[in-house]
Amino acid sequence: MASGSTSLTDLVTGINALTADVSARIVETSSGAYRVVVEGPQGSDKALTITDSVFGLQNTNVLEVDTYTLGAPVETNGSATFTFGGTSYSQAFDTDAATTMSALAAKVNAATGITVDSIGRRKLRITNDVGSDTQMTKGTITGTTNGSVALSISTADTTAGTATNKIQIAQNAILNVNGLSVSSSTNEVDGVVPGLKLDLMATTSTAVVMAVTHDTTVAKSSITALVSAYNAFEVVMKELTSSGSATTDKGALKSDPGVNAIKDKVKSFLTSNSSTPGASVDSMGDIGISLQKNGTFKVDGAALSSALTSHYADITKMFSANTNDQSSFSTSSFGIGGDVVKLISSYLSSSGLVALRDSAYSVKKSSLTEQQATLDKKMTAVELRYTKQFSTMSKIMDEMKSTQDFLESSLSNLPFTAKND
């Protein structure tokens, strides 16, 4: 940090500007209380150490306290030897057991610089700030209670050292899977169980039982979607191949046998037994999918769920032949799903029926367009001719009407006519 930059914001900015693989942010832990959280890579080999002389963020360890308890007090002719850090300190019985333990503690204090207290007649307590998050080395006590009976000792770690300014200490995730001990630098453990990735969410002191089961909801959704897709396909094909009626037009592809063949072939895959039947399930009818009178399929949700629960492997085989990477050139069976995909792919290929029909209809459309243009041209000429003829005829009729009116007027004025008689 630059000299004089003493705000938490400046500290965070300075850390984030470093080239180190760490990031910092400010978190309000309670009203008016803030902490700087520094995060870095996971794993014990990426341990992060923070020191400073401005904000007082140095690790403040809770003192570690180890208590050593004798199975029996030291008596006359007995002695106790405490070994710590590779050095042994001995004290023979002195007046009474409490005095003996106090004298032993004083010897250890004088030599090691750590704090050692005696508690009554049978306990030594060591208090130490180990300066890290690791526990200090334990000591041992040997000797005799009265010169002949060996001392017994129990050691209790009453308080372990800890760093209060660390949210999480950098360490590897450690787990045991069926007796196999595993260490991982991240909480995502892959490869321990074939085909399964373990995502460690929390620590636990008891065994966790994992059960891997089939997620039938995905399969059910996919099968239902297949049925819905076919039903939509059936509606379109029915319209295109309709025979028509007194009130509706005939389908545009009614007379095309190829299109009708596509419709019938796709339906046969969904109504016939699979090319790779299971031991208990052969067709879609076995899993609650039935053909209705209008040509569409209906899904019985309860029956499908039950079949997926009881015969998941059979249904998988029925639809996929237990493969997801089979070559399209393979002569092996593909199952319902694979066979339908292969069939549709053949229809849509560059040399398939749909492409051929599209090419043929394009040529026919072009020919009809030309014929329509020629007919339109002829019709225009005929219209002009008829219009001209009509105009001429209308003019002749007008002249004849005028002559008729003149003759009628002239004849009516002759003598000896009925009018002039």
Domain extent listing, the chain: 1-59, 64-159, 172-212, 216-348, 359-421
Cα separation of 263 and 265, whole Å? 6
Architecture of the 64-159 domain: Sandwich (2.60)
Instruction: Please report which residue ranges of 61-203 form alpha helices under DSSP H.
Output: 97-112
**CA nearest 154: which of 39, 261, 70?**
70
Q: How many helices (DSSP H) and strands (DSSP E) are in the chain?
A: 8, 15
Handedness of CA 198, 201, 203, 205 (dihedral sign): negative
DSSP per residue over 50-67, as a string? ---SSS--S--BPPEEEE
Using pLDDT thresholds of 50, 70 and 90, give the confidence band for residue 267: confident
pLDDT at 364 over 80: yes
Average pLDDT estimate for 35-60: 65
Residue 116: predicted pLDDT? 82
pLDDT digits (tens, 9 = 90+) for 62-92: 667 788 888 888 999 999 888 887 888 899 9
CB 102 within 8 A of CB 113: no
Instruction: Read off the pLDDT of residues 370-390 as tens digits, 9 standing for 90 and up.
Output: 999 999 999 999 999 999 999
Q: Is the pLDDT of residue 368 over 80?
A: yes
Neighbour count for residue 327 (Cβ, 10 Å): 8
User: Mean of the pLDDT values across residues 337-360?
Assistant: 82
Q: What are the Cα distances from residue 207, in Å, to 74, 174, 213, 260, 349? A: 43, 13, 19, 61, 56
pLDDT at 350 over 80: yes
- 184 — phi, psi (to 5°)? -135, 140
- Strands 64-70 and 33-39, by their bridges, are unpaired
E runs forming strands in 166-237: 173-177, 180-184, 188-193, 196-199
Residue 1 pLDDT class (50, 70, 90 cuts)? very low
Residue 131 above 70 pLDDT? Answer: no
Kindly state the DSSP code that residue 284 receives in the 8-state scheme: G
Checking if the pLDDT of 165 tops 70, the result is no
The single-letter code of the amino acid at 58 is: Q
Question: Per-residue pLDDT averaged across 28-44, rounded?
Answer: 73
- Beta carbons within 8 Å of 99's beta carbon, 6+ residues apart: none
Percent of all residues in the chain with a pLDDT value above 70, rounded to a whole number: 86
Look up residue 200 and give its two tokens. 């460690």
Give the model's pLDDT for residue 421: 56
Which residue did the predictor score with more confidence, 417 or 24? 24
Residue 18: what pLDDT? 81
Helical packing angle, 335-348 and 353-412, nearest 10°: 50
